[in-house]
């Protein structure tokens, strides 16, 4: 909401510099976002009468005019097409400044010296009148006389406060009066009487002319209208508004239209009560009022659109048909035009929700509908109508008969709240006396009666936001000043505090990943559905049924991810685009499983995942280390193995993974204790290509909850060995199809308790061995807890291992 400081001063005698007032208001809850002074540069511009207009001797489009400004007559060159003798215009004298800061000096225009400049509205930052551009015409009827200072007459030293209203202040502060009430309460100033405002508050008394048809009667047939006041102004002359009023509308961000319409807007800005003017002579059947729209009804609104009305729409209707959408927009047929002679002025209270719904459906949000939606004060309808009628009369002439229609079946009663003063003190943490509390509330126009420790507070009807005792705590707090409240250290027992074991494990995991060379990413948890399609998951796969967002802004938010892979591949693709192909990234975050649950109205699962992707080199090229470590299956698996060690997962099993998005020969599942832990592998080249990724891309996704469950909470401690270990090397040749894990299983089984460790130190496959064969070389370590193993014992167990390998796997032993 934009508030003119000059206008505000007609309501409250505030003299603070606008910037300081802005600061004070902000600290009381009315956030002033900016203080603007669009006219601040204008100076030295006076009204002048054009006495003669002549052609410029050396130009076709320039004119030479004679202007009287009270002193000596001036010669001024102008290009304005509307210059004519007799008109009053703003004249920038030499030394004057225009709104854009330009200084005016006497200047030679093709041989004629111009002693100043005649101004358009735009040059003074005033609203441009309709029609072709030209000089701003000052109407003598508005009191303009030659020599008058334009900046002073039009309050061009004004400042506009741009106030950001939070919903709780929206209702009572959506007007100059409302802001003035806050200023008065804040600065302990009185509100000024109505006589101090520009224009009259009461129309000149008159009675209904006997020769005119009686005014329409008002009806209310729908609870969505609590009050309907109609005032009548007969025999008006519709025309432009005076400049001072136009400028104030402009300051508030509204466009001037005509004196009658401008007054309805002006008084709305002043009081917060939206008003509507009907052309009285277009209303039929001697009736006007509020009712629900009937099935099939339509209304052509002011903007020329034919609107189909719906059940629940609140309309204003005459005896025959709707004439306006209540609080939203008037009808075209009853619009005030240049030909309008008599006015029915509506000042009413409409249900905020009903107005909001209709305005939103039709896309007709306006200053008026917004105010109804926030809540206007039904108690004010009558005096606001009087003020507006009086102002219309002052600007457009006419008669305002004393006949007023005021339908108000159930007058609003001020709300009564009871609150214990001790509660206010207790919540604010300030030792305020009962009387001091009462004084803050009274400054806000509340009536306060103390009954023992209780305060009985009567809340004025213009404060629909104050509905319960805690609202009073807030009112007292903000007027006392939140920043004056002394701070108090926390006391009492601390909460459980600290990081949980789970959180510590996650922090460790993040540290491990970074130590392994991966950089942490934070990605969006939704993505286009098409990303999922790229993975080629079969329909029975749970991951192919994501939870969909019903109202995404774009395809980027279509579905919640069921796997982290698309998010991270998007990130990798971005980095490839900026030529960062050596990239290793990880994220610990959630995926979202359970479209069926969501459809059934239940919350889905949000399991936590660790995922990583990498391409290019994991370790850089180096003068000593050579080409660096490339991202491939084994480097990725090594990272996963490190993660398993971190979580103390000791019984992990590996098997070939079958995922449509992974390389069929270079991907593995890890499992432990019968529970899947996740997968790791190289991306299928087709999937890599779908993301425009070149070279090998590795990825992994692990179920963090499964890792936490599979790992030991504490390490299993073994005493330090007291007897020496014996190492034996073993090389064997097996079929390529025999997995290393199988070889190891056979060795462990045969080696039993004495076989302490198995180290695979060489893998070789080559022509020498023949096709389909490979050689594996191991170092086996034997040890006992209770004795030094004898040579014979070692030979015996090692022999069993060799026999088992040969017998079970057909291994050919080479040493």
**Which of 529, 537, 525 is CA-nearest to residue 684?**
537
Q: Give least dist CB 1 to other proteins, A.
A: 15
Residue 494 or residue 719: which is nearer to other proteins going by CB?
494
Residue 461 or residue 525: which is nearer to other proteins going by CB?
525
Q: How many CA atoms lie within 13 A of 555 on its CB side?
A: 5
**Which of 191, 184, 185, 175 is CA-nearest to residue 478?**
185
Residue 36 or residue 142: which is nearer to other proteins going by CB?
36
Residue 339 or residue 491: which is nearer to other proteins going by CB?
491
Q: Give least dist CB 377 to other proteins, A.
A: 18
Structure-block tokens of residue 531: 């990303």
Cα–Cα dist 676/655, whole Å: 11
Structure-block tokens of residue 154: 């039009």
Residue 204 or residue 522: which is nearer to other proteins going by CB?
522
Residue 170 or residue 236: which is nearer to other proteins going by CB?
170
Cα–Cα dist 328/318, whole Å: 17
Q: Give least dist CB 602 to other proteins, A.
A: 8
Q: Give least dist CB 565 to other proteins, A.
A: 15
Residue 323 or residue 584: which is nearer to other proteins going by CB?
584
* Cα-based distances in Å from 443 to 21, 187, 425, 448: 18, 10, 18, 10
Q: Give least dist CB 433 to other proteins, A.
A: 17
Structure-block tokens of residue 418: 């009871």
Helical H segments across 537-623, by residue range: 565-577, 595-599
Torsion of CA 494, 500, 506, 511, to 10 degrees: 60
Q: Give least dist CB 108 to other proteins, A.
A: 43
Q: Give least dist CB 706 to other proteins, A.
A: 17
Three-state DSSP state, 559: strand
CB atoms within 10 A of CB 244: 15
Cα–Cα dist 336/110, whole Å: 48
Residue 186 or residue 746: which is nearer to other proteins going by CB?
186
Residue 578 or residue 720: which is nearer to other proteins going by CB?
578
Cα–Cα dist 263/248, whole Å: 11
Cβ–Cβ < 8 Å for 554, 621: no
Q: Give least dist CB 173 to other proteins, A.
A: 12
* Cα-based distances in Å from 546 to 550, 571, 588, 605, 621: 12, 20, 19, 12, 41
* Cα-based distances in Å from 63 to 103, 128, 285, 480: 21, 22, 56, 63
Residue 207 or residue 487: which is nearer to other proteins going by CB?
487
* DSSP structure class, residue 740: H
Q: Give least dist CB 437 to other proteins, A.
A: 14
Q: Give least dist CB 182 to other proteins, A.
A: 11
673: which residues sit within 8 A by CB, 6+ positions away? 651, 709, 710
Residue 209 or residue 695: which is nearer to other proteins going by CB?
695
Q: What is the DSSP string of 427-438?
A: HHT----HHHHH
- Which stretch of DSSP H or E encloses residue 245? helix 243-251
CB atoms within 10 A of CB 712: 11
The phi-psi region of residue 29 (left if phi > 0; otherwise alpha if psi is between -120 and 50; otherwise beta) is left
Q: Give least dist CB 604 to other proteins, A.
A: 6
Strand partners, 35: 161
Residue 57 or residue 426: which is nearer to other proteins going by CB?
426
Residue 155 or residue 570: which is nearer to other proteins going by CB?
570
Q: Give least dist CB 567 to other proteins, A.
A: 9
Give Rg (Cα) of the chain: 42
Cβ–Cβ < 8 Å for 276, 413: no
Q: Give least dist CB 478 to other proteins, A.
A: 4
């Amino acid at each position: 909401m934009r508030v003119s400081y000059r206008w505000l001063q007609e309501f409250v005698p505030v003299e603070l510099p606008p910037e300081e007032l802005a600061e004070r208001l902000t600290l009381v809850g009315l956030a002033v976002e900016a203080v603007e002074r669009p006219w601040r540069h204008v100076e030295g511009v006076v009204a002048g009468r054009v006495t003669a207009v002549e052609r410029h001797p050396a130009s076709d489009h320039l004119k030479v005019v004679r202007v009287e400004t009270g002193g000596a007559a001036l010669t001024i060159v102008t290009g304005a097409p509307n210059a004519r003798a007799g008109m009053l215009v703003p004249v920038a004298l030499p030394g004057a400044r225009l709104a854009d800061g330009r200084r005016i000096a006497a200047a030679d225009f093709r041989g004629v010296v111009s002693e100043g400049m005649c101004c358009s509205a735009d040059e003074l930052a005033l609203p441009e009148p309709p029609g072709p551009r030209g000089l701003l015409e000052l109407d003598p009827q508005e009191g303009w006389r030659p020599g008058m200072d334009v900046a002073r007459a039009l309050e061009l030293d004004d400042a506009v406060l741009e106030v950001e209203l939070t919903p709780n202040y929206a209702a009572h502060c959506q007007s100059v009066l409302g802001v003035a009430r806050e200023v008065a309460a804040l600065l302990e100033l009185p509100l000024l009487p109505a006589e101090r405002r520009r224009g009259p508050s009461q129309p000149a008394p008159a009675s209904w002319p006997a020769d005119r048809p009686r005014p329409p009667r008002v009806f209310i047939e729908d609870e969505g209208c609590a009050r309907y006041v109609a005032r009548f102004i007969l025999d008006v002359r519709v025309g432009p508004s005076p400049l001072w009023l136009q400028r104030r509308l402009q300051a508030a961000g509204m466009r001037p239209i005509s004196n009658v319409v401008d007054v309805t807007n002006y008084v709305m800005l002043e009081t917060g009560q939206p008003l509507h003017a009907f052309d009285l002579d277009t209303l039929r059947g001697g009736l006007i009022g509020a009712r629900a729209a009937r099935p099939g009804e339509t209304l052509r609104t002011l903007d020329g659109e034919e609107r189909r009305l719906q059940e629940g729409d609140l309309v204003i209707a005459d005896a025959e048909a709707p004439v306006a959408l209540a609080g939203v927009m008037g009808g075209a047929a009853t619009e005030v035009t240049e030909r309008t002679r008599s006015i029915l002025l509506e000042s009413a209270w409409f249900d905020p929700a009903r107005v909001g719904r209709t305005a939103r459906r039709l896309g007709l949000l306006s200053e008026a509908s917004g105010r109804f939606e926030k809540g206007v004060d039904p108690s004010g309808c009558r005096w606001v109508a009087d003020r507006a009628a009086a102002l219309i009369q002052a600007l457009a002439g006419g008669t305002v008969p004393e006949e007023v229609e005021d339908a108000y079946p159930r007058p609003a009663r001020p709300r009564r709240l009871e609150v214990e003063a001790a509660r206010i003190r207790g919540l604010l943490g300030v030792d305020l006396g009962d009387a001091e509390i009462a004084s803050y509330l009274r400054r806000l126009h509340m009536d306060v009666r103390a009954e023992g420790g209780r305060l009985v507070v009567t809340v004025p009807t213009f404060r629909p936001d104050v509905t319960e005792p805690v609202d009073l705590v807030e009112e007292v707090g903000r007027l006392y000043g939140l920043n004056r409240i002394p701070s108090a250290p926390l006391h009492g027992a601390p909460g459980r505090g600290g990081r949980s074991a789970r959180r510590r494990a996650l922090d460790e995991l993040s540290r491990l990943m970074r130590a392994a060379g991966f950089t942490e990413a934070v990605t969006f948890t939704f993505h286009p559905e098409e990303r999922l399609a790229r993975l080629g998951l079969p329909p029975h796969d749970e991951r192919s049924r994501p939870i969909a967002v019903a109202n995404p802004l774009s395809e980027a938010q279509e579905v919640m991810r069921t796997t982290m892979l698309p998010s991270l591949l998007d990130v990798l693709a971005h980095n490839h685009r900026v030529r960062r192909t050596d990239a290793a990234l990880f994220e610990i975050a959630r995926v979202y499983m359970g479209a069926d649950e969501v459809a059934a109205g239940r919350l889905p699962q949000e399991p936590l995942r660790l995922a990583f992707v990498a391409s290019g080199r994991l370790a850089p090229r180096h003068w000593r280390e050579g080409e660096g470590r490339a991202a491939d299956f084994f480097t990725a698996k090594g990272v996963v193995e490190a993660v398993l060690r971190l979580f103390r997962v000791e019984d992990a099993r590996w098997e070939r993974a079958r995922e449509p998005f992974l390389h069929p020969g270079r991907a593995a599942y890890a499992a432990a204790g019968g529970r899947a832990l996740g997968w790791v592998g190289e991306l299928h080249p087709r999937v890599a290509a779908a993301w425009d990724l070149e070279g090998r891309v590795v990825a992994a996704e692990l179920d963090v909850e499964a890792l936490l469950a599979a790992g030991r909470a504490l390490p299993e401690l073994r005493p330090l060995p007291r007897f020496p270990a014996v190492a034996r090397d073993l090389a064997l040749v097996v079929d390529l199809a025999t997995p290393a894990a199988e070889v190891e299983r056979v060795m462990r089984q045969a080696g039993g308790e004495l076989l302490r460790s198995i180290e695979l130190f060489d893998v070789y496959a080559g022509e020498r061995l023949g096709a389909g064969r490979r050689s594996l070389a191991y170092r086996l370590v034997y040890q006992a807890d209770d004795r030094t193993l004898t040579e014979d014992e070692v030979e015996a167990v090692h022999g069993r291992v060799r026999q088992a390998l040969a017998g079970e796997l057909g291994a050919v032993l080479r040493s």
